[in-house]
Structure 1
């Protein structure tokens, strides 16, 4: 008798082989059509600041637009209940070197709906310590997550990618394949199709609070694998047997009720795991779309170690790098939710009452609360078209990966559309195409960190228990109440990254342009009245540094611009002391070209004239923009 795993392996191999042969005959088009394989690996429970807040060139601990609380302090200063200090600043978990090995298996706060909504606190973002955990405000640095830094610096990191829901694993993973959680019952009757899915509860009946039903289970609405199957696009889920409940296909009725030989079961519910992915990558026989659901000890879910997760990340990338299909593959590496680790950027939730976004608070049925989008997560795109150490600045979430698949399928003449994704998410979340320059592929490869295989013994990964046993008493360092200063707490590496995607605030920016082989940038020296252009010899010079302020919300393309040397820019190129008197500039991104800058309502484009003042041209002129991070 053929086992389910053997059957699944045969299905995936045959489908992928047929596609691989056909794709090899196609020539490059310089468009998204050149992507032949999409690989998605989702890890667990880490926040952006927790991993990458100290990285240079991203929206991290040097954010010039950090939210100021009602108390007049930046939200870096989280209120506490401790008698030792009124506020807690972000703190490096490994500041005491005795704890450095043990922080690999440290835990943060809670990932539940309640604690994370209370940390959000109606947009104040001041409840991480009092409403979640004091360890929510702890973070790691390069020496603790070197592979993650290497991936960001080799390809492209997104610093505005968020969880779908301000809440835990199950719901966020369900959104990763379906684009909805049936918030507000907008997809259908919750008693019939399930939801609103907001907690990691998998009971066969609805939860009920004062007649308000939620977490009805199982789920029964459309998913991306079903769309792919209906359009004859090959797909497979590489799920390890010890991945716990991380495979979201197990949440859905259609999969659970499928016969073993039906496509949804044979491709989505098997235990043909990571070894099969490595084998098919080596052969160049991967399906068109792959999901990797790795072993739970490799997931980075605390207390599982980042080093163990780094291994599966690096091996996924190396498998594609060493395969015949690297030059036609995109890998997305994401995280499902924050795990109760803190992040400082306010979630860009939809306006109150938006269909599919707000619902009755199941704790207090007289109140309404947003589901998401939530807090930021680490996110990486690995491909020949995202090579080069870029930072992607567009608001994105788990639906963004689905919309990328839709756009890719449409380019190939396939109508893959998830009606479950609501209009607000479609209008506001990125489809991720701006992460890539499809006209300029790079086949050269960066150097990663050569992660050692996590300790494996008696058929199981034991790195987590090793860490816990070897570092007893030295895993969670004492919280540094009353011992902090802002400079040390918000230390970052120096450096810069070129950016891609629609511009958002939160970074110091350099506007650069190459003219006759020389790099020039917009410049404002201390004491000068007007903006000029000057040759860039050093990205660390404060004269080239600007801060932008979005006019409206996080999705606006209109900005006011401030010099790091003081003063706000006007349409005449003159700097004024008040933001109220500054001009509004429209800054737009064109993939593969760069950024245009126009005065609001005008048709001419800002340009660099070497050594002169800012000028305007009738035709579009494109800037490169760099996000820079320096201590001054």
Structure 2
């Protein structure tokens, strides 16, 4: 029998040989079309907090605030209820009956700058019930939004994708197409439009360098146009005023026959034209899809109606002639007043282009973003299969992805409008893809109910509002406990992207998994569902944005120490560096002294000079 060292060398050689053949199989240049489709006003926990294998209601790294109170427990005082002093996340349709219909058109809270910064409460993130509304802390389950779950889990869902601005629609959509909101110290000058933190569309400024309209800095489509990249906004007349290019002066004054007008703000390229182009394989290189108001999912517009629109877009792309060369990115602009338990990942205090003095005099020096997490998923042959992408991302990530993709194809479209910290620290999304192993199969997505129309106008939300006078269920004050409120589905997802906190992780290679053996880490046979508790680990980041972590076991809380021994207490833990090697190569795990944790083909765990590629699973199980 081979020794561990011989076995690990042999297995590493096999892995390297395999990866060499994989690397030649495909690359980001295989993409010919990118479609950007943005919906409205929903938070990650509100839609996907119950989903398995993501950073949801089973988060092992949940923030604990002073008083030893996890952020799940939102502050409640007698102005809301005398029955309790906290509110846990709560299933909005917990009463059954016809509430599942009524809450489709429910409005929860406010999505503006003031109420969301007040809910954030200086990063304690504990005032959603008091400073927004108790309904902000409610959530849906799979049975309420089955199409959303089906698309997200059929391909790759991102669970650390954040809004760009802790504010409403316009600031976030401006970021989506330009990379900035013109915070002082960023790339723009004050005369290019004030810092954009609300939905002002009245010419002029609301205050000195504040919410000035129109904006005048350069947008990403202008870079595409200059580089000879084809692009198009697809929208109907009923576009909910959601096309952010229309808020920029250069588009407002563009000649009617100019590309900024015909490609950016014209209504001649409708959603019907998008469907036809996608099916025919004639989409431009970059497409922006702007849906109608009633299908946008912006409360009171119904998620089920938005699901139908999503299904239309997904079907057109995946059944079209160019699906094998297309990536569809589906995102939401901001949270819509719904809360999320993950305090935003953001820049250090005072960072230029990111922090500013609150112009309304309530919060002092504050960061403008990135903000709370949003639903996000990527539909493509290279993201197929039920993965979770864990990198810190926001709307700027979509810009960076297109830059990286088009750069690989020989175009220079790198914008100079993104603040330095944001460009450096937000993901480019590339590692969500495995270009060496495309999968052209299509998942079975649940059917989407066709939205109601009267006279050609979508009116499902109006019917809902007319049918249900009360669309806000009674808040379950004093009737909650974590066991019945923090519900998660059971299961797993394979991980893609650099690691971040918030999940139970299983590390596997060659049919074995890294295992807690009692006194040290070892290996045992991997299970089909990746559900052995002894193989489950929690990572703890050493500092924000770092790829260095300490690691503890889900079994006994012991940490991995020197020599792969298990030790009590974080103080004796070894700091490990995790690297996603990308394109299906797996993850390396490096120790502080430069060695690598490895598994051998005969099921032994040890340290070696060369890395192997671990497959990592994010798992959610109650045991």
TM-score by length of 2: 0.93
How far off is 1:446 after superposition? 0.6
Alignment of 1:494-509 (within 5 A): 494-509=490-505
User: Hey, what does 1:624 align to over in structure 2?
Assistant: 615
Listed as ranges, the gaps of 5+ residues in structure 2 are 1-23
Task: Output aligned runs, 1:158-169, within 5 Å.
Answer: 158-169=158-169
Output one character per residue of 1:412-459: Cα deviation in whole Å (capped at 9) or x when no partner.
111101101111111110000010001111111111112122111102
Mapped contact 1:273–1:293 kept (Cα < 8 A): no
**Could you say what secondary structure the match of 2:64 adopts?**
coil
Q: Which secondary structure does the structure 1 equivalent of 2:46 belong to?
A: helix
SS of equivalent residue, structure 2 residue 320: coil
**Alignment match, 2:90:** 91
Alignment-derived partner of residue 589 in structure 2: 597
- Aligned residue in 2 for 1:541: 532
Deviates more, 1:352-361 or 1:534-543: 534-543
Q: Is the 8 A contact 2:505 2:538 kept in 1?
A: yes
Equivalent in 285, 289, 292 of residue 289 of structure 2: 292
After TM superposition, which residue ranges in structure 1, 4 or more long, deviate above 4 angstroms? 610-613
Alignment equivalent of 2:317, drawn from 274, 297, 320: 320
> 5 Å matches for 1:486-525?
486-514=482-510, 519-525=511-517
Select the residue among 237, 246, 249 that pairs with 2:245.
249
User: Secondary structure at the residue paired with 1:561?
Assistant: strand
Q: In the alignment, what sits opposite 2:19?
A: none
What SS class does the counterpart of residue 616 from structure 2 fall into? strand
Alpha-carbon separation, structure 2, partners of 1:106 and 1:244: 19
The residue number in structure 1 matching 2:206 is 207
Counterpart in the other structure of 2:300: 303
Contact 1:522 1:534 in 2 (8 A): yes
Question: Is the contact made by 1:497 and 1:628 (CA closer than 8 Å) also made in structure 2?
Answer: yes
**Secondary structure of 2:329's match?**
strand
Distance 1:511 1:469 in 2: 52
Q: Deviation at 1:612?
A: 5.6
2:178 aligned with 1:178: yes
Structure 2 CA distance for aligned equivalents of residues 547 and 195 of structure 1: 43
Q: Contact conserved, 1:543 with 1:564, CA < 8 A, in 2?
A: yes
1:564 is matched with: 554
> 2:424 & 2:107 partners in 1: Cα distance?
36
Matching of residue 273 in structure 1 with residue 265 in structure 2: no
Tell me, what secondary structure is at the counterpart of 1:603? coil
Aligned counterparts of 1:310 and 1:429: Cα–Cα separation in 2: 28
Query: Does the CA contact (< 8 Å) of 1:531 and 1:613 recur in 2?
Result: no
Compute the displacement of 1:195 (Å).
2.0
- 1:41 and 2:37 correspond: yes
Which segment drifts farther, 484-493 or 564-573? Answer: 564-573
Cα distance in 2 between the residues matched to 1:572 and 1:185: 47
Residue 237 of structure 1 pairs with residue 240 of structure 2: no
Please give the secondary structure, in 2, of the residue aligned with 1:100: helix
Q: In the alignment, is the contact (CA less than 8 A) between 1:50 and 1:343 conserved in 2?
A: yes
Q: Is the 8 A contact 2:495 2:616 kept in 1?
A: yes
Determine helix, strand or coil for the equivalent of 2:562: coil
- On the 8 A contact 2:32/2:325 being kept in 1, the answer is yes
Does the 8 Å contact 1:534/1:611 carry over to 2? no
Partner of 1:136: 136
Alignment of 1:398-437 (within 5 A): 398-437=395-434
* Secondary structure, counterpart of 1:597 in structure 2: strand
* CA distance, structure 2, for counterparts of residue 189 and residue 570 of structure 1: 51
Cα drift, residue 610 of structure 1 = 5.8
Contact 1:535-1:610 within 8 A present in 2 as well: no
Q: Say if 2:470 is the partner of 1:480.
A: no
Q: How far apart are the structure 1 equivalents of 2:189 and 2:410?
A: 33
Deviation at residue 100 of structure 1 after TM alignment: 1.3
SS in 2 for 1:101: helix
Q: What are the Cα deviations for residues 258-279 of structure 1, in whole angstroms up to 9, with x where unaligned?
A: 1111110111111232111011
CA–CA distance in 2 between the matches of 1:365 and 1:464? Answer: 35
Give how far 1:349 is off.
1.4
Partner of 1:24: none
Q: Distance in 2 between matches of 1:185 and 1:353?
A: 10
Measure the CA separation in 1 of the matches of 2:539 and 2:319.
41
Q: C-alpha distance in 2, partners of 1:548/1:299?
A: 37
Deviations 1:484-535 (A, max 9, x none): 0111110110000000000001000101112xxxx1101114xx11111000
**Which residue is equivalent to 2:57?**
61
User: Counterpart in 1 of 2:13?
Assistant: none
**2:15 match:** none
Shift of 1:29: 6.1
CA distance in 1, matches of 2:104, 2:418: 36
Report if the CA contact (8 A) 1:534-1:610 is conserved.
no
Q: Deviations over 1:188-229 (max 9, x none)?
A: 332x21020001112212122xxx431111000011110111
How do 1:370-449 and structure 2 match up within 5 A? 370-449=367-446
Partner of 2:151: 151
Cα-to-partner distance string for 1:533-580 (whole Å, 9 max, x where unaligned): 000124222111110000111x21101000011211113121111110
| Unmatched runs of 5 consecutive residues or more in structure 1 | 1-27
What do residues 63-106 of structure 1 show as CA deviations (whole Å, max 9, x unaligned)?
Answer: 00000011211010000122221000000001111211111111
* Rounded Cα–Cα distance in structure 1 between residues aligned with 2:103 and 2:247: 33
1:466 CA drift (Å)? 1.6
Greater shift in the superposed pair: 265-274 or 55-64:
265-274
User: Are 1:583 and 2:574 counterparts?
Assistant: yes
Which string of whole-angstrom CA distances, capped at 9 and with x for unpartnered residues, describes residues 360-388 of structure 1?
A: 11012892110000000000000000001
What is the match of residue 220 of structure 1? 216
1:461 to 441, 458, 461: 458
SS at match of 1:207: coil
Task: Report the CA distance between 1:613 and its aligned residue.
Answer: 5.2
Give the secondary structure class of the aligned counterpart of 1:512. strand
Quote the Cα distance in structure 1 between the aligned partners of 2:620 and 2:107.
Answer: 29
